[in-house]
Amino acid sequence: MIRRRVAVIQTDKHGGHKLGLCSPEVVLPADDEIGRPAPYTPDLTAFQKVLWNWYLDDIEAVMRFAAGDEVVLFDLGDQTHGLKYPEHLMTTRLADQIIIAVANEMPWFEFDNVVKARFAKGTGSHVFGQGSAEIIITEQLRALYPERDFRCLYHGVADLGGVTLDWAHHGPGPGIRDWTRGNQVRYHLRDLVYRQRRHAEHWPARLYVRGHRHSWVRETLYETWQGEEYIYDLFTLPSYCGLGDYGQQMLQSLPFQSYGLVAIELLDGEVGRIKPYMRVQDIRTWERL
């Protein structure tokens, strides 16, 4: 009987950012005017409300695709936004960002077949240095769901029943021109494969996944090695966070932004269907003058 599993990859939710992912049910601690506990649920921006619905839609779509089979979740980092850019924040308290990030992960664990989760440590300025946010989030989720398998790393390679998946937060960019889109990803993938070929004890992974760039790019490489043909894929993932002032600057006022995740079917050591769940939004403001 064929064993079927699904690996799902998501990234860059930037909890605490005013355009980042935030559960509408999250409860944050606070004090009233004389210091007594007065917890509250923050008001979400209109975009955050839409983003949360997209996220839940994507989770439901993945679970339909999984059809009860085992799901392994990979979150590639930047689960919080950090304090370096305070003008973008819903809250400047570290604890609040952690609580938001934990609440963002919880919808996955309403499903019993999500049995394992792996978290990549993100960019230092967003995760309070040295992977601090992801470490705390991992421990919080382990306490909430002791029967599940959690781990937090900078860079991992997972053997998923014979399919190796290389996962980390940082990776190549999508390219700065539409006609060069994917070139950096393809060259990066080729470099990874060739570097590992030079070390005979480490075969290249079948799949490589990266976050950080908030853009969906998939590149596939075919290689003939010692008379055998091999295939490799590298994905850079879109985010679940809108663009603030700094993001607009870094992406040079990019007119379109993608949001979503990808699910990968694994069938007895082979890669089956690869299902991106995402949408692309025109983020410009249109008007008639």
Q: Is 189 left (phi over 0), alpha (psi -120 to 50) or beta?
A: alpha
**What pLDDT score does 178 carry?**
72
According to DSSP, the residues that pair with 285 across neighbouring strands are none
135 exposure class (CB count in 10 Å sphere: 0-12, 13-18, 19+): middle
Looking at residue 246, its pLDDT comes to 63
pLDDT at 2: 80
Tokens of 71: 């799901």
Q: Which CATH superfamily is domain 4-282 in?
A: Metallo-dependent phosphatases (3.60.21.10)
Please give the pLDDT value at position 277. Answer: 97
Strand 149-153 and strand 114-120: the pairing is: parallel
Give the up-direction half-sphere exposure of residue 167: CA atoms within 13 A in the CB hemisphere.
Answer: 29
What's the rounded Cα separation, in Å, for the pair 92 and 141?
Answer: 22
The answer to whether 169 touches 77, Cβ cutoff 8 Å, is yes
Instruction: Pick out the chain residues at pLDDT < 70.
Output: 200, 245-253
User: What would the two tokens of residue 147 be?
Assistant: 């029967």
Instruction: Provide the pairing of β-strand 207-210 with 70-75.
Output: unpaired
Per the listing, tokens 């819903």 go with 90
Going by C-beta distance under 8 Å and a sequence separation of 6 or more, which residues neighbour residue 138?
Answer: 119, 150, 151, 152
Under 8 Å between Cβ of 16 and 100: yes
Sign of CA dihedral 211, 215, 218, 221: negative
Residues 6+ apart with CB under 8 A from 170: 123, 210, 211, 212
pLDDT computed for residue 258 by the predictor: 92
Residue 196: predicted pLDDT: 87
